[in-house]
Amino acid sequence: MKIIGLSDPEVQAELRAAGIGMSVPEARSIAEVLGRDPTLTELFCYDAMWSEHCSYKSSRATLKEFLPSDGPNVVMGPVEDSGIVAIDDKWCVVISHESHNHPSQILPNEGAATGIGGIVRDVNCMGATVVATADPLRFGDPYGPKASRVRWVAEGVVDGIWQYGNALGVPNIGGDIVFNESFDDNCLVNVVSLGIVRRDQIIRSRAPPLAGEMGYDVILIGKPTDSSGLGGVTFASEALREEDEETNRGAVQIPDPFLKNVLFKANGDLFRLVREEGVEIGFKDLGGGGFTCAASEMGSAGGFGMEINLDDMHKAADLPPEVLSIAETQERFLIISPPHLRERILKIYNDDWDLPNVYEGARASVVGRINSGDRFTVTYKGETVCDVPIQHLTGGIRYSRMEAPPIISLAEPQVDEPADFNEVLLKILRSPNIASREHVYRYYDTEVMGNAAIRPGEADAGLIAPVRGERFGVALATDSNPFYGRISPFWGGATAVAEAMRNVAAIGAVPSTLTDCLNYGNPEKPEAFWEFREGVKGVAEACRNLYLKGYQDQQQAVPIVSGNVSFYNESPAGSVDPSPVIACVGIMKDAARAVTMHLKAAGDRLYLIGPRYDELGGSEYYRTIFGVTGANVPIVRYELERNMIYAVIDAIDDGLLAAAHDISNGGLAASLAEMALTRPARFGLEVDLNLVHGGEGDACMRSDRLLFSESSGFVLEALPGKEERLERILKGYGIDPMPIGRVTARRRIVIKRADKTLADLDLDEAGSAWAAGLPEAMR
């Protein structure tokens, strides 16, 4: 393709006519390195590999500057398809976290389904058994001017997730949903997957050390390559525009969970074969950037070159080499393996698991080999269509983006205390951001693997016991509040980390590692890039100050071992609110000791830990009751937060608690109501706000602020006779325990302040509001 000698406008016209999204300077730099005009296939390969999605060209420097990724439990940080942390000396948990935002806005069902399909491949290719998924979701305003489209997207996304996950046979154990008008034209579909692998059976997503010397095979397995998903990474690296919607549909991949199920079983046979043979292979899934991305990254990571012959690829008919190179056809993996295993590997997929008869055209094919050189070479019909330095292709480029804070005006509203707290609490419980999530998770098969210990809706985190015969449990929670990010991107990041860790601690698990999916606007705009940088700083500060339990004396940061940056989440109407979505993995030595959040027995004492502060900025109370955002966003008081998390974990480990629930969205009032309303909802409660302490300077807070402030904390239900020991643990961490009330046999939520009853709600009435909120928003 002609680059050299053309003017910038002419190069731009040539690129756009070919459907290539790279900039003119990028195209010129490629021609300069090659010393000639690049071929069309080469430009397509570079366009994919240098996209924001694949190269992290705007974000990589910031991530490296701030985020901690090392720790005593880290087996593999964010260098390959998934992160890995140790559970014990034998077992490890594998975790990956990605986004599938743009595809899900265009084709919600297919976009969300392929998001799940991609994330489970990332985990499986590390040699792991996939054991769970989670789905943090963000949708637009279901009652706003674009309500019809918002509801169509939300229903389609949920359908895609359950249809793929249930058919695949992997349980969904968690996630969260937020509705917010900034997502009207750009939903967020973030996906998390967990796997379990023995430490001595981990497989790397790179060419092994002997691959170049021995000329290892490059074997493509799975679906025949077609044109589906073509340009997916470029599409994900641009802002959404309504006029491009029809064109962009072709960039959305086509899922097939049934084929994936068969591939996972065949992969298990592959893993057993290489263990028996004592050989090392490379294994990687094909996702964004298609074949070129997977192949070149594996070769480059091993320090080798690669020769590929597209004629040997199983594929749809009449596709040009540039399409075969970067199409994002789903349900594919790439193997780099020694030649002496070639026939046995092909037999596993083509004969033992009979891929050609599972899906037409599916199979395993040898498509190339590794060499000791430094070139990525692709031939097609006897011609070389790509011959580039492999490190240059995969190394990407880096941009130093400008940053500037947006000019916004925020203020605390002057609002009167409500006269009817019953009405206020019912409205908040009915809000789609607070209401029960049962309307969504009822579709998810949480029992499919028989490993569920705590299911969605039962507690602040999901919990599985993934290995038969072992007592340990693995917990997972996801969190992020875009309303906080709107006010302060920094505290939006820090509070997401803190809440994810609180949620895991609330069932008794020790926060072990974090992942992040960083969802922001156009990094070429200084305001969006500033929001991104601030969010990362907030995430990093929280990681470095909340400490890994057991290593707090060394001030060991909680490591981030996997994640994703998703830019260009905007439309002509504007950018999404800054949304750093955090997933926290927790480990329990004994899953049987975990607690849930529903109230257990009349007469049990209820404790509040965590003073209430005047922090209602971004709160559900302000938005739902007054339609305002506010300014006093919750902040993280690191020593207090750390001590609360540690104390709750210790109390559960000592068998002192019947239930625990963290305080976040909706404040203390929502947390109390949720404990009473969560199934089986047999008991009520009565609390006295006179026993609730405000923070420094907030000792005499109004009742509405005490109830609806979203400052962090926990509500704990103590087992009878354990109160003294619980208070001793709390005080040992410097925490002031507030015994605010008791569980009652009367099925009512009663909130008093001294002799005045503020709220007195029948559980059935409250439950009806809580159950109705989400179905009403999504119908």
What one-character-per-residue DSSP string does 91-153 give?
Answer: EEEEEEEEE-HHHHHHSHHHHHHHHHHHHHHHHHTTTPEEEEEEEEEEE--TTSTTHHHHHHH
Q: Find the catalytic residue in 97, 100, 598, 661.
A: 100
Residue 190 lies in a domain: no
- Write out the H or E segment, with its range, that includes residue 196: strand 188-198
Pairing of strands 91-99, 83-86: antiparallel
State residue 695's pLDDT score.
Answer: 77
Residue 218 lies in a domain: yes
Provide the token pair at 33. 């390195």
What is the arrangement of strands in the sheet containing 91-99, beginning at the earlier edge strand? 74-76, 83-86, 91-99, 188-198, 129-139, 172-179
Residue 350 lies in a domain: yes
Which string of DSSP letters, residue by residue, matches 279-321? ---EEEE--TTHHHHHHHHHHHHHT-EEEEEGGGS-B-TT--H
Which residues, at least 6 apart from 34, have a Cβ–Cβ distance to it below 8 Å?
Answer: 42, 388
Low-confidence ranges of the chain (pLDDT < 50): none
Provide the token pair at 297. 């990254």
Gap between the Cα atoms of 337 and 206, Å rounded: 11
Burial group, residue 147, by CB count within 10 angstroms (0-12, 13-18, 19+): middle
- Write out the H or E segment, with its range, that includes residue 521: none
pLDDT in tens, 385-435: 999 999 999 997 999 999 999 988 899 999 999 999 999 999 999 999 999
State residue 238's pLDDT score.
Answer: 60
Full residue range of the structural domain in which residue 214 is found: 205-396
Pairing of strands 305-309, 375-380: parallel
Provide the token pair at 114. 């392929």
Amino acid at 712: S
Last residue of a domain, one of 360, 380, 396: 396
CB-CB neighbours of 155 under 10 Å = 16
Q: The dihedral of CA 431, 432, 435, 439: what is its sign?
A: positive
Last residue of a domain, one of 396, 423, 442: 396
Gap between the Cα atoms of 47 and 326, Å rounded: 9
State residue 693's pLDDT score.
Answer: 86
Q: Find the catalytic residue in 53, 392, 439, 598.
A: 53
Residue 89 lies in a domain: no
Last residue of a domain, one of 372, 396, 420: 396
What is the arrangement of strands in the sheet containing 217-222, beginning at the earlier edge strand? 282-285, 332-337, 217-222, 363-371, 305-309, 375-380, 383-389
Among 687, 641, 683, CA closest to 668: 687
Residue 140 lies in a domain: no
Residue 716 lies in a domain: yes
Number of domains in the chain: 2
Gap between the Cα atoms of 2 and 15, Å rounded: 10
Residue 697 lies in a domain: yes
CB-CB neighbours of 26 under 10 Å = 17
Gap between the Cα atoms of 633 and 709, Å rounded: 10
Gap between the Cα atoms of 291 and 620, Å rounded: 45
Residue 499 lies in a domain: no
Partners of 389 in beta bridges: 375
753: CATH: 3.90.650.10
Active site residue 53: yes
